[in-house]
Amino acid sequence: MQKYDYLIVGAGLYGSIFAYEMNKKGKKCLVIDKRDHIGGNIYCENIEGINVHKYGAHIFHTSNKEVWEYINQFCEFNNYINSPIANYKGEIYNLPFNMNTFNKLWGVRTPEEAKMKIEEQKKEFGIVEPKNFEEQAISLIGKDIYEKLIKGYTEKQWGRKATELPAFIIKRLPVRFIYDNNYFNDRYQGIPIGGYTKIIEKMLEGVEVKLDTNFFDNREYFERIAEKIVFTGMIDEFYDYKFGKLEYRSLRFETEVLNIENYQGNAVVNYTEREIPYTRIIEHKHFEFGKQEKTVITREYPSEWKEEDEPYYPVNDEKNNKLYEKYRELAEKEVNIIFGGRLGEYKYYDMDKVIERVWGNMKVLNIKD
């Protein structure tokens, strides 16, 4: 009964790239997605002439020239530079931590002064063996930066007190002793002109796509119609939670159209105090330097993941990673199933790394030129 070479479960970036490459090679593919749109979490919806990132801010960045040239074949990118700011009780600070941040915090003007201030605060606490996230952060960056720019944001993101989070989840903190607000160190960076959905549309040209279609609603049928399956959903769900459920963090988005031209003057503003329930506000028009009369903002509220929620961030702590290893061992024994993406591999991937990962899997399968 096999009608397709590949059934691709998920029309996000991973699944769409795979379908594009296979279609080029003359393979017959069917892409299904349980949502009513293509693009997965990089889907953009046009509201008031503004490309709204429906599932949170996505900024493409990479140092891999091959990846940059690959993604640019599908659309033109603008020269957007990610320079988020932090709002702590009305005080505004530049991110990542750099000389602009340190000048605002302490009035220091030189790298040497900033380094001395940080070392002074680290010594004040004298933490030799950090026992939790809070102690680890203070031992890396000192008290002021931690309390104003890290503590509240992190506690909202994880839904737990910083003293209850393990120290190992924060190995290092990006600190720059230069006046540079560019969040990423990568050589290439930008936003696709017209939004990310256009990229996915081009990738899926000539490929059969079925939306509002859940693999698990008709699993036996879908497993029969293709020689191989590319699965980008949750790996534990694929195996019917055989070893237990992996944990995720979820997000709730509150989007609002405002009858003003400019709400916050920046695409991304993080709210780092614990008392404000959302972690950040995105003003979408600034990603593409929009001049529209209205603006669209989105507040992001982190939450614990429940089955009816969308899973966004794998909780890659020791317990969950051990559980994932059991599922990975099962996956490696599969002959005709390829697991990919954040959910399929239970790993946080930036977009450029998704592309590299697809290429890597194709190379293993000996199907990349």
The pLDDT score that the predictor gives to residue 90 is: 97
CATH number of the domain at 4-76+187-247+314-364, please?
3.40.50.720
Encoding tokens for residue 203?
């990738």
Q: Specify the 3-state DSSP secondary structure of 84.
A: coil
DSSP class of 267: S
Bridge partners for 188 per DSSP: 62
> For 85, left (φ over 0), alpha (ψ -120 to 50), or beta?
beta
State the pLDDT at residue 126. 86
DSSP string, 7-31: EEE--SHHHHHHHHHHHHTT--EEE
Where along the chain do its domains lie?
A: 4-76+187-247+314-364, 99-169
Contact (Cβ atoms closer than 8 angstroms) between residue 297 and residue 261? no
Residue 366, pLDDT score:
66
Q: What is the C-alpha separation between 224 and 221, in angstroms, rounded? A: 5
pTM above 0.75, yes or no: yes
pLDDT of residue 367: 61
pLDDT value at position 187?
A: 96
Q: Locate 43 and state its tokens.
A: 């889907």
Chunked into runs of 10 residues, the chain (369 residues) has average pLDDT values of 92 98 96 98 98 97 98 98 97 97 97 96 89 93 95 94 88 89 96 98 98 97 96 98 96 98 98 97 98 98 91 90 97 95 96 95 67
In 159-243, alpha helices (H): 197-203, 219-224, 235-238
- In 3D space, the residue among 299, 350, 354 whose CA is nearest the CA of residue 53 turns out to be 299
Nearest to 282 by CA among 58, 40, 47: 58
Active site residues: 172, 176, 249, 280, 300, 348, 350
- pLDDT value of residue 153: 97
